[in-house]
Chain A
Amino acid sequence: MFRTGLICIFLSSLVLAKSKESFRAAPPSQNGVPASPTVFYERNTSGLTSDISVIVMTGSLEDPIDKVGLSNLVAEMVLRGTKKKSRDKFQSELERMGGTLSANVSLDTIQFSGSVIKENNKKFLALLEEALLQPAFNEKDFQELKREILNDIVHVKNSNGRLGGLAARREIFKGTPLERSGFGSQSTVEKITLADVQRRYNDYFDRPKIVFAAAAPFPESEMLDAFSNIWRQFPDGKRPAKKMVNLKVPEKPTLIVVDKPKTSTGSLFFAQAGISIQDPDRYTLNTGNFSFGGEPLVSRLFRIVRGELGWTYAIGSSYSTLGGLSGQQGLYTISSTPSVEYTSKTIFKILDMWKSYLNEGLSSDELELAKDSLINSYPFEFDTAAKRVSHKLTSFLYNIPILSPEEYAEKIGEISNRKLKSALKEKQKANGWVIALVADKDVVNKDLEEYQKDIPKEERLTISKVYTPDELVN
């Protein structure tokens, strides 16, 4: 539904029960430079809160390689006080009105998300406007924020799961901003100055890069006027340039260990090249993955490695999409936390099961299970106003259609095992794994030797690199 120069998709809460038309993708802007703000809004008349997001189309992929974490610092600094209000006054006002406001940075977006009790919607919008347009960028607040982020980065050493992910990144995204998490590392965050933050804000917070999304109990005109008022005050600019990085995938399974003495479990993280969010095979590969490892309790990995063998409590796999604006190739990952004595067995079992999946695809039962489950659970994708708005937003940002239940059922229904095998053959590698294992390196070494004693030395899987937790956060 269009309203006075605004691009607005207004969704009724009966969207699923009505027609396919309700799923229209947002009309594209002209020449990449919109003449009015893009707003996705659904009025939720029974809602007790307003849920509001402002998306700026820039993210950590734009960070200089020696200053990864800059986008995150910019996002956080926007919420640390305004030219009129100190950080304390701003935050106190926000929280006193029953509101929250936080920032989340992905590869290609900074998303400010807030929620407020409906009685204070107007006050919240005024505060949001002030934060976005008049951030204080105060040096003292900046130094405090840096210290806080550096403490958080160092604290990642306590999380074996996250350490595994960081180790895999170092290999697959070597030499790119993605070799570190979007928060950056100690060395990159240390280098960032307040001037960097101010420059980045000036260069990227402009009209063409800003999109609004909200679900609230108010008439759309009220919300659209507020968003339009905010948007008009930003300078003009350009749509973000597409940016991508190439993945470095090994030819054979490459084992990296993050040395953590005396663990009683090993934290395993397999990663290889995946697909982009727009990949035409995404429905097929996600359906296959559902029954291979994606769905707890019923997937093949879960049923066998946990259910039959009892080697681990948790095991699962997923496609993670990165940088949707640019069509960046994402990752395919398998993770598990086997008891330490089963670590080697679990690695080789996963590799065997992966090869079998790659060659044979799924059994007809597994495929039908995945299809039934995905089709029948599709209503949950749209069961709240916030989810419906979020889907519209994703569809607009990444240029992917939202399918009606009928279209989705048709799309999933036509997937065959032949189609799956063909997509797997084209998009996935049998051996191109980086395997990050967080565990005691001496125990891993011994266990690997024992497990592979009957295999010729040149064919054995050995540790190719050992990181300390300190190295990964630095």
Chain B
Amino acid sequence: MLLNGKFLLSAEYEKIAEKKLFNGEVLSEFKLPNGLKVIFLPRHEAKVLTFQTWFDIGSLDEKMDTKLKKTGLAHLFEHMMFRGTDKYPDGKFDELTSRMGSEKQNATTYFYRTNYYESVPSNQLKKLLELESDRMANLKLDGALLEKEKGAVVGELRRALDNPGRIAWDELNRTVFEVAPFRYTVIGTEEEIKGFTLEEAQYFYKTFYAPNNATIIVVGDTSEEELMKWIVKYYGDMKAQEIPRYKMPDEPNQKKERRVEKTHPQATSDILLVGYRIPAVNSEDIVPLSLLSTHLSTGMEARLRKSLVDTGIAVSAGCGVSNVPDYLEFSVSLSEKHKAEEALSIIDREVSLLKSQMIKKDDFERALNQELLSLYNMIEDNSSMANMLGDYLMVSGNYMRGFEIIDQFKKLKTTDLKAVAKKYLNKESRSVVIVRPQPKKSSRS
């Protein structure tokens, strides 16, 4: 409630911000006394809404946690959140949300966060909040169910291990980071997954699944009054916890190029990944770096597509800014008759051009308008909009950061792109990973 420019503070919740988006929509941010944050964007085109819960906990924290010191539990635990409470035993959460017509219901875990999400008809909001708050506060961790879920997670891990592209990405993180826990995979190893105990899961739940470590994001057909009434009812009594915060070990400055080559039995052609260290998402340099990556990789006219795919050297070629872990990643899937080294020399050539020449005005306009198109398409969908807000909140502490970056694009000059290319795209601060097919056995052997 906005009164004469001041926010009304109630005992139940506080409205801490109201933001007008570029398209005229207005979103609000609330906070409960127990620390739970709520971001709400009303939309009434259809009688549906998206509900997401973001926890500020991912695999980085568990690796640094003095009681755990291993990875995989944040992800395994995410699976266990679907395994029942006293009130709604195993399977009941899925059954009831499905009956209410939920769509896109699932959860994901990453280095820095875990999120749970679904979209439901808006008349199901109250019931959904009851179910979501129940599993956040009253999860019943059962040893037998934990063992069963480990089987599914091992299946997920093995499926990833059969994918050479995924292995290349894991290897890139291991190569870029010598110290920081990005070098350990989110899903953990098979040994780690199988070894987690019920006690560790309970510790993890009690420690990290607290209201002051969570943000709820709602986009869709409800009102502030309706939403906050039920949020207060179902989440208001939860107790804040002391959340351990760990300082990420300082990654030593990289002074020379790192290069790793591997083979994979399922690979049929070379895969090349290159990661250049860049600053965190809140840095001003992220703005020109983001547009630079769009110039290189978005659309049929993108530089990498023209020089690698149109020439038949690669099947696909892309470039993108990765936030937490922070690097600019080039990825190329070579076609069968070509080698990763060819693609690497072309990337070098393109990078060299970026450093020595201004990109053309037409190319700059192309990248900018492609970014706008992408943003406009993304925010039209309730769940994509919620994802964007949540992800930027988790990586930067500022859910508006995505909009800020787009806004700042318009102020950029071509010289800014050249400057960041010179500053960050240097061989000595990059890591190169090549995954190749295993050599074929000779017919004589």
Q: Using CB atoms and an 8 Å cutoff, list the residues of chain A in contact with chain B.
A: 13, 16-17, 46-49, 88, 91-92, 95-100, 115-117, 120, 144, 147-148, 151-152, 154-155, 157-158, 160, 260-265, 295-298, 303, 306-314, 337-340, 369, 372-373, 375-380, 382-384, 469
12 examples of A-B residue contacts, CB within 8 angstroms: A92-B366, A95-B300, A99-B369, A100-B370, A100-B373, A155-B315, A160-B162, A307-B148, A310-B147, A310-B151, A337-B159, A373-B100
Asked if B148 and A377 sit within 8 Å, CB to CB, the answer is no
B94 surroundings in chain A (CB, below 8 A): 297-298
Let me know if B99 is at the binding interface, CB within 8 A: yes
Asked if A91 and B300 sit within 8 Å, CB to CB, the answer is yes
Let me know if B242 is at the binding interface, CB within 8 A: no
Total A-B residue pairs with C-beta atoms closer than 8 Å?
186
CB distance from A426 to the nearest CB of B (A): 28
Asked if B366 and A96 sit within 8 Å, CB to CB, the answer is yes
Asked if A265 and B155 sit within 8 Å, CB to CB, the answer is yes
CB distance from B47 to the nearest CB of A (A): 6
Partner of A313, one of B148, B155, B314: B155
Instruction: Assess A377 versus B46: contact at CB under 8 Å? Given A151-B312, A310-B151.
Output: no
A338 to B158, CA, bound (A): 9
A261 to B437, CA, bound (A): 12
A264 surroundings in chain B (CB, below 8 A): 158-159, 161-162
A296 to B94, CA, bound (A): 9
CB distance from B123 to the nearest CB of A (A): 9
Asked if A49 and B373 sit within 8 Å, CB to CB, the answer is yes
A379 surroundings in chain B (CB, below 8 A): 46-48, 101, 121
Asked if A262 and B376 sit within 8 Å, CB to CB, the answer is no
A157 to B309, CA, bound (A): 18
B376 surroundings in chain A (CB, below 8 A): 48-49, 117
Let me know if B45 is at the binding interface, CB within 8 A: yes
A378 to B121, CA, bound (A): 9
Q: Using CB atoms and an 8 Å cutoff, list the residues of chain B in contact with chain A.
A: 23-24, 45-48, 82, 90-91, 94-95, 98-103, 105-106, 119, 121, 124, 147-156, 158-159, 161-162, 164-165, 265-269, 299-301, 309-310, 312, 314-315, 333, 335-336, 362, 365-366, 369-370, 372-373, 376-377, 380-382
Partner of A154, one of B105, B150, B336: B336
Instruction: Assess A376 versus B100: contact at CB under 8 Å? Given A297-B105, A307-B148, A312-B152.
Output: yes
Partner of B99, one of A13, A120, A152, A369: A369
Asked if B159 and A265 sit within 8 Å, CB to CB, the answer is yes
CB distance from B371 to the nearest CB of A (A): 9
Asked if B372 and A297 sit within 8 Å, CB to CB, the answer is no
A297 to B98, CA, bound (A): 9
A117 to B369, CA, bound (A): 8
CB distance from A387 to the nearest CB of B (A): 9
Residue of B nearest to A116 (CB): B373
Asked if A313 and B377 sit within 8 Å, CB to CB, the answer is no
A95 to B102, CA, bound (A): 36
A16 to B106, CA, bound (A): 27
A154 to B95, CA, bound (A): 42
Partner of B101, one of A157, A340, A377: A377
Residue of B nearest to A88 (CB): B301
Asked if B312 and A96 sit within 8 Å, CB to CB, the answer is no
Asked if A96 and B268 sit within 8 Å, CB to CB, the answer is no
Asked if A96 and B121 sit within 8 Å, CB to CB, the answer is no
A100 surroundings in chain B (CB, below 8 A): 299, 370, 373
A380 surroundings in chain B (CB, below 8 A): 46, 48, 101, 103, 119
B369 surroundings in chain A (CB, below 8 A): 95-99, 117, 120
The 5 A-B pairs at the shortest CB distance, nearest first, are namely A310-B151, A376-B101, A98-B369, A383-B46, A377-B101
CB distance from A226 to the nearest CB of B (A): 19
Asked if A151 and B335 sit within 8 Å, CB to CB, the answer is yes
B158 surroundings in chain A (CB, below 8 A): 264-265, 339-340
A264 to B372, CA, bound (A): 42
A310 surroundings in chain B (CB, below 8 A): 147-152, 154-155
CB distance from B11 to the nearest CB of A (A): 35
Query: Which of B121, B153, B267, B333 has the most CB atoms of chain A within a 10 A radius of its CB?
Result: B121
CB distance from A82 to the nearest CB of B (A): 15
Asked if B162 and A383 sit within 8 Å, CB to CB, the answer is no
A160 surroundings in chain B (CB, below 8 A): 162, 266
A382 to B48, CA, bound (A): 10
Residue of A nearest to B220 (CB): A383
Instruction: Assess A311 versus B45: contact at CB under 8 Å? Given A148-B310, A369-B99, A376-B99.
Output: no
A91 to B121, CA, bound (A): 41
Asked if B46 and A382 sit within 8 Å, CB to CB, the answer is yes
Partner of A95, one of B90, B147, B299, B310: B299
A99 to B372, CA, bound (A): 10
CB distance from B383 to the nearest CB of A (A): 10
A377 to B118, CA, bound (A): 12
Asked if B99 and A155 sit within 8 Å, CB to CB, the answer is no
Partner of B268, one of A48, A116, A158, A314: A158
B45 surroundings in chain A (CB, below 8 A): 13, 46, 383-384
Instruction: Assess A95 versus B366: contact at CB under 8 Å? Given A154-B335, A297-B94.
Output: yes
B48 surroundings in chain A (CB, below 8 A): 379-380, 383
Asked if B312 and A92 sit within 8 Å, CB to CB, the answer is no
Asked if B266 and A263 sit within 8 Å, CB to CB, the answer is yes
Instruction: Assess A262 versus B101: contact at CB under 8 Å? Given A16-B46, A383-B48.
Output: no
Asked if B82 and A297 sit within 8 Å, CB to CB, the answer is yes
